[in-house]
Amino acid sequence: MISVYYFGAIALILIGLYAVLVKKNVLKMLIGLSIMETGVNLLLVSVGYISGRSAPILSEGIGPNGAVDPIPQALVLTAIVIGVATTAMALSVAILIHEKYGTLNVEEIRRLRG
Amino acid sequence: MNGQYASLLIALPLISAFFVPLIKGFGKKAIKYYLVLITAIQTGIAGWVFSEVYSTGKPIIVIAGGWRPPVGINLYLGHFAALFVFIVALVSFFMAVFSVKAIDVEPIDKYAMLFLLLMLGATGMIATGDLFNLFVFMEITAISAYALTAYNKTGEAAEASLKYIVLGGIGSSFFLVGVALLYGSLGTLNLAHIAQLAGGVNATVAQVSLALIIFGLAVEAELFPLNAWAPDAYQAAPHPITAMFSAFVVKAGLYAMARILYVLSAASGWANIARLLVIMGTLTVIVGELSALRQRDVKRMIAYSSIAQVGLIAVALALGTADGVSAGVFHMVNHAIVKALLFLAVGYVGITLGGTAVENFEGLGKRMPLTAFSITVGAVAVMGIPLFNVFWSKMRIILAAMGAGYAWVVALVLAASVVEAVYYIRLIHTMWFTGEGEKLNENLVFGVIMLLLVVAIIVIGIYPEPLWDIVQKAGNDIVNVAGYIKNVPLMGVGA
């Protein structure tokens, strides 16, 4: 039985991939990219989950054996920031494309040929 | 001197990038010369690291924050990393000098910051010893590369950048899934520790995660199905940035690919992935060369040629033998020199005559003899004519591929080399034997840089042995995984 977390995360990645590959509008492609990144982050967090344990903050009543794996959380924190930076970069390029081409349809954005 | 100072290779570009807005107060020129100064210092540090590693024969291990790996992050500056960090810094220095003339349109302060971050990312990718840290440096490189591709703010530049962002985004997501799978099964992110545990990893997990990681890195490294962004980005990006992409951003991706591939070489099912990479590399060579044949824009043509050479390097690195990897590293060094020269010269023609369409190259031999001479030497070298450097590395790759039993790869690669000769000879013919024109004044500084690179090509072509000794050590650094594990002072945790 596959854990519902893994299933959901992989499903999100595939939905995002589908949107990037199939959609014609640049903004929808970028939404797909964001969904994909979310799925990857969920997958990373669920890799570190240990059933029945709490957040890895050592405080009263929670010892080292009562916490989930803290490393994936550090990784996800980094990956989220990187994802946001990529999205911001992509959106500014999308604005530039709309200025120069007057369209966001990928089939009409074809000046570079060969 | 203490080896920990090698961390300045990462720290210097980062700190200098933060100081750019302050320098901006002194004017546009100041930023350009600041860039030249910082890259010169970086070259000095990298040169010190290089001589240190090659004179002692021991790698420099930088341990971040005093936490021994695998708990902390370490930088591993072995023979390979020392060599390539030096090349990255040197090419960046040349391109910073080139930028003084070539970049005069847009916000120069942002350009300088992104330039430094691109250099930082490539250096970090080559130096790091940690899988997730590799991802972070890869993203630093990628995001600065996206921004620099769109730097000219034309429609074409935005289009090229968008393609790169979408492909790069998919690639980095896949890479991260691969990292998650490896971490989930091994519980470590340190490359040396992964190598230690690789023998026991589940065959399916090893194959899937390795395939995903290679898929992710192949976007940066321009291998066949994922390289559609590359020619567009090369054509639309500012000229110095194009040279940097070709000379080291791609190499950083290839190196990371080779490193991860060999780190997991003990895993079962490994040979399938290596064979897949050989096939992808061969297809890259063929598709790259055939696409270059029908280009009307010289910069785009050289971009396709660059992709084809990268395919050749990928083939060599995936052969799985020490000979193959050394030959691949040899070709990486030679290709970095030759393509830096070609993109520098073509970019110089582009800024002087306004554009890199093939019409501008007619009569270049009469108008800009020195530049035309440099392009000619570069073109002849890429074709692999004896007495030039690329001949030796191509020869080594072909011998290594024969040795590993890949005769069909050799046949296809050699056929592609014939195609390569056709379009380069056509370019040389256009430059020297067609068109009329008056002699233009050529910039002395660029002339000196181009001649330096030309001399490097010819000297390596006549005396390949010293460099071959160096790259054999560098190649051994990748193949000899047991030595790699032994060099990293792993703390005994978990296991």
Q: Is residue A84 part of a domain?
A: yes
Q: State which H helix or E strand residue B60 sits in.
A: strand B60-63
* Gap between the terminal Cα atoms of chain B: 34
Query: For B168, which residue in chain A has the nearest alpha carbon?
Result: A86
Residue B2 vs residues B5, B10, B67, B86, B140: alpha-carbon distances, Å: 6, 16, 17, 18, 28
Per the CB < 8 Å rule, is A114 touching B294? yes
Element (H, E) at B273: helix B270-293
Q: Is the dihedral of CA B359, B362, B366, B372 positive or negative?
A: positive
- Closest-CA residue in chain A for B293? A114
CB nearest B159 (choices: A40, A85, A97): A97
pLDDT digits (tens, 9 = 90+) for A44-101: 999 888 888 888 888 777 777 788 888 899 999 999 999 999 999 999 999 999 998 8
- Cβ atoms B226, B218 nearer than 8 A: yes
Provide the ipTM. Answer: 0.94
Instruction: Please indicate whether, in this complex, the C-beta atoms of B165 and A112 are within 8 angstroms of each other.
Output: no
Residue B472: in which H helix or E strand, if any? helix B464-479
Query: Does the beta carbon of A86 lie under 8 angstroms from any beta carbon of chain B?
Result: yes
Asked if A46 and A106 touch (Cβ cutoff 8 Å), the reply is no
For residue A59, which phi and psi values (nearest 5 degrees)? Answer: -135, -170
* Residue A60, in any domain of the structure: no
Name B114's Cβ contacts closer than 8 Å, sequence gap at least 6: B144, B147, B148, B151
Residues present in chain A in total: 114
The domain spans of chain B are 281-487
**Residues of chain B contacting A47 with CB distance shorter than 8 Å:** 180, 183-184
What does the DSSP assignment read for A29-78? HHHHHHHHHHHHHHHHHHHT--TT-B-S--BTTB-GGGB--SHHHHHHHH
Q: Give Cβ neighbours of residue B147 (< 8 Å, ≥ 6 apart).
A: A89, B110, B114, B161
Residues sharing a CB contact under 8 Å with residue B471, sequence separation 6 or more, in sequence order: B83, B326, B329, B330, B333
Q: How far is CA B40 from the centre of its chain?
A: 19
Instruction: Please give the pLDDT value at position A33.
Output: 94
Residues in B touching A26 (Cβ below 8 Å): 162
- Please list the residues that pair with B75 across neighbouring strands: B62, B128
- The CA distance from B136 to B175, in Å, is 11
Subunit contact A86:B143, Cβ cutoff 8 A: yes
Query: What band does A108 get if pLDDT is binned at 50, 70 and 90?
Result: confident
pLDDT score for B494: 46
Tokens standing for B53? 């590693």
Rg (C-alpha) for chain B, rounded Å, is 21
Q: Residue B286 carries which DSSP code?
A: H
> What's this model's pTM, rounded to 2 decimal places?
0.93
Interface test with B, best of A96, A104, A109 (most B CBs within 10 A): A96
Cβ-contact A38, A66 below 8 angstroms:
no
Helices B464-479 and B444-462, interaxial angle, to 10°? 80
Partners of B190 in the beta sheet? B130
Residues of A in contact with B153 (CB under 8 A): 96
Counted domains in chain A: 1
Q: Which residues of A touch B136 (CB under 8 A)?
A: 78, 82
DSSP for residue B74:
E
Q: Collect all residues of chain A within an 8 Å Cβ-Cβ radius of residue B179.
A: 44, 75
Q: What is the CATH number for A102?
A: 1.10.287.3510
Give residue B63's pLDDT.
85
Q: Distance (Å, rounded) from C-alpha B118 to C-alpha A14?
A: 31
Q: Which residues of B are less than 8 Å from A82 in CB distance?
A: 136, 139, 143, 172
- What residue of B is the nearest CA neighbor of A95? B158
B75, B80, B85, B87: CA torsion to nearest 10: 180
Report how far residue B240's alpha carbon sits from residue B347's, in angstroms, rounded to the nearest whole number: 7
Alpha-carbon gap, residue B102 to B352, rounded angstroms = 9
Give chain B's contact residues with A (Cβ, < 8 Å): 132, 135-136, 139, 142-143, 146-147, 150, 153-156, 158-162, 165-166, 168-170, 172-173, 176-177, 179-180, 183-184, 189, 231-232, 235-236, 291, 294-297, 300
Specify whether the CB–CB gap between B158 and A96 falls below 8 A.
yes
Query: Residue A4 belongs to what domain range?
Result: 1-51+68-112
Which candidate in B165, B189, B302 is best for mutational testing of the A interface (most A CBs within 10 A)? Answer: B165
pLDDT tens by residue, chain B, 495 residues: 577 888 888 999 999 999 988 888 887 788 888 999 999 999 999 999 999 888 888 888 888 887 888 888 888 888 899 999 999 999 999 999 888 888 777 688 888 899 999 999 999 999 998 999 999 999 999 999 999 999 888 888 899 999 999 999 999 999 999 999 999 888 888 888 888 888 888 888 888 998 999 989 888 888 888 888 888 889 888 889 999 998 889 999 999 998 898 888 888 788 888 888 899 999 999 998 888 888 888 888 999 999 999 999 999 988 878 888 899 999 999 999 999 999 998 888 888 888 888 888 888 888 888 888 888 999 988 888 888 888 888 888 888 888 887 888 889 988 888 888 888 888 888 888 887 777 777 777 888 888 888 888 889 888 888 888 888 888 888 888 888 888 887 776 544
